[in-house]
Structure 1
Amino acid sequence: MAMTAYKYQAQALMKDYLLADPLVPYTSVLIGIVLCKIAYDFTRVLSSFYFKGYCSLTKIQRIEWNNRGMSSAHAIFITAASLYLILLTDLFSDRVKGPITFRNSIISTFALGVSVGYFITDLAMIFWLYPSLGGLEYVLHHTLSLVAIAYTMLSGEGQFYTYVVLISETTTPEINMRWFLDTAGLKKSSAYLVNGILMFVAWLVARIFLFMYVFYHIYLHYSQIVQMHVFGYYLVLVVPAVLFVMNTLWFMKILKGVKKTLAKWP
């Protein structure tokens, strides 16, 4: 009976406080920051047990190692949330009437808040150790992402486009794995080659073709986009365009790296 009472109290707390509409954005951001800390520490503990070379890494390498574990965890979470909301629910479906630019839910807002918590944490670490964890391109990418996600979380506008763009985070684990393998001295392994090919394919699909779909969707639904607040309107038009340019430049580097690796492979 006591356990049942505690269960009902916990459910009431979630419903009436943590998931109450006005508090969802702020609660979810806090949860996102806490989950980042947990993922960071979990990566550190797991790596110290199962990777013998972890302790021999330099301090900054260990920090970046743990940071990449944290970013991989976020990428898996937000990619899964994006695919679920876009493909498995009716939130952004054509079956629902009304402008797609104004559709949102508690779940969609909550997931965006967790992502905001991640970008705040990661951006803080980048500034703290600048430029060890990334240069100006990372600062620009994270700042644009943070502003766009925070706006759509707080306003409820343009969440569809935010989630489509966030699917591009599916490339993050491959990028991090490439760094892990390189740091572990496995640059000449088969795993490194396979990961490079997977990274190339994932980047082409999620950061090139998918963004082309975003631009096409914006073109088809422009009459709905102009109904948004002026700040949201420019975010929808500018942020994907800037990220697409950055993605294309990075893709050229990835393509060059894959060609170089394949040329040297026996």
Structure 2
Amino acid sequence: MEARTVGIVCSSFVIFQVLFHFVSYWFSAKVSSGYICLSVEKKIEWNSRVVSTCHSLLVGIFGLYLFFFDEATIADPLWGDPTLVKVNVGVSAGYLISDLLLILTNWKVIGDKFFIIHHCSAIAAYYFVLQNGVAGYIANFRLLAELSSPFVNQRWFFEALKYPKFSKANVINGVLMTVVFFIVRILAIPPMYFYMYSVYGTEPYIRLGFPVQFAWITSCSALDVMNVMWMIKITRGCVKVLSLIRQEKARNSLQNGKLN
């Protein structure tokens, strides 16, 4: 792996560790008075989600730019020059390694076996992008899924701060979370596998080699199974809240009608 790539991954790891251990404590106390009142355990998860949001916005926004304007990988998704994509993937790899360390060292608070599977699957796939410079467009396409994370994290922040479940901010965020999650994680599934099918057996695909092919297929499959599971859970929660809001409105309308 190139020294420049290793440097990006290591720098990303250090920066996200600093964000978790130092910056988030200071920043969160400044912007939210409720943060000070949280338990130690809640503060650990809060800080991990602040870091997650920073990572998601960074790689998601840069990933959108690459998705539309990186001519090399657009022209050749498997073998196009991934120089810029490797920067984005390197930043994400550094974050995933950092987050894995935080999960393992704070397992009783934020431990989650699905996150371990998610992170390890992504890191395994990103290794080949960074090492061999292949499938840059595919890797960046997968990174766009991170655009949903800020809404997921914001939902947790509202819950930690005890915002009413039916508050306007909570409901709007919940609807946006459901819609964005569906677009970037579920709606993106068919094009991915259609492209995989379309190149299967071709010379560029064969040239990838079995390890890359295996990592591509298995990592995407593992991530997408979890994405579908999470989508079902999110959708059920959103539908339940919206149904309760409609019932409450209908009940209020009926009561107002009786009063009049």
Say yes or no: TM over 0.5: yes
Q: Which residue of 1 aligns with 2:102?
A: 125
Q: Quick one: percent identity of the two aligned structures?
A: 24
| Contact map agreement 2:89 2:126 (CA 8 A) in 1 | yes
| Contact map agreement 1:170 1:206 (CA 8 A) in 2 | yes
Q: Which residue of 2 aligns with 1:63?
A: 44
- The code of the aligned residue for 1:154 comes to Q
Distance 2:90 2:70 in 1: 19
| Contact map agreement 1:181 1:192 (CA 8 A) in 2 | yes
In the alignment, structure 1 residue 165 sits paired with structure 2 residue 142: yes
Q: Which residue of 2 aligns with 1:79?
A: 60
Distance 2:82 2:56 in 1: 21
Distance 2:218 2:14 in 1: 31
- The code of the aligned residue for 1:263 comes to S
1:102 match: secondary structure: coil
Q: Which residue of 2 aligns with 1:208?
A: 186
1:187 match: secondary structure: coil
Q: Which residue of 2 aligns with 1:22?
A: 2
| Contact map agreement 2:73 2:79 (CA 8 A) in 1 | no
2:110 match: secondary structure: coil
In the alignment, structure 1 residue 221 sits paired with structure 2 residue 187: no
- The code of the aligned residue for 2:97 comes to I
Q: Which residue of 1 aligns with 2:154?
A: 177
Q: Which residue of 2 aligns with 1:11?
A: none
- The code of the aligned residue for 2:46 comes to W
In the alignment, structure 1 residue 259 sits paired with structure 2 residue 239: yes
Distance 2:168 2:111 in 1: 27
- The code of the aligned residue for 1:55 comes to I
Shift of 1:106: 2.9
- The code of the aligned residue for 2:178 comes to F
1:150-196 deviations in whole A, cap 9, x for unaligned?
Answer: 22111111121111111001110000000000000113321111111
In the alignment, structure 1 residue 186 sits paired with structure 2 residue 163: yes
2:81 match: secondary structure: coil
Distance 1:147 1:51 in 2: 37
- Output aligned runs, 1:226-245, within 5 Å: 226-245=206-225
Distance 2:123 2:164 in 1: 33
- The code of the aligned residue for 1:162 comes to A
Q: Which residue of 1 aligns with 2:27?
A: 46
2:73 match: secondary structure: coil
Shift of 1:107: 2.4
| Contact map agreement 2:12 2:94 (CA 8 A) in 1 | yes
| RMSD, aligned CA | 1.5
Runs of 5+ unmatched residues, structure 2 = 249-260
Distance 1:236 1:219 in 2: 12
| Contact map agreement 1:24 1:109 (CA 8 A) in 2 | no
1:104 match: secondary structure: coil
| Contact map agreement 2:186 2:227 (CA 8 A) in 1 | yes
The 3 A distance-change label for structure 1 pair 38 and 145 is: same
Distance 2:17 2:123 in 1: 18
More moved, 100-109 vs 208-217: 100-109
Runs of 5+ unmatched residues, structure 1 = 1-20
- The code of the aligned residue for 2:155 comes to R
Distance 2:58 2:189 in 1: 20
2:119 match: secondary structure: helix
- The code of the aligned residue for 2:244 comes to K
More moved, 150-159 vs 34-43: 34-43
Q: Which residue of 2 aligns with 1:12?
A: none
Distance 1:57 1:227 in 2: 53
1:91-150 deviations in whole A, cap 9, x for unaligned?
Answer: 2233xxxx5312233322222111111000001111111142131111111111111112
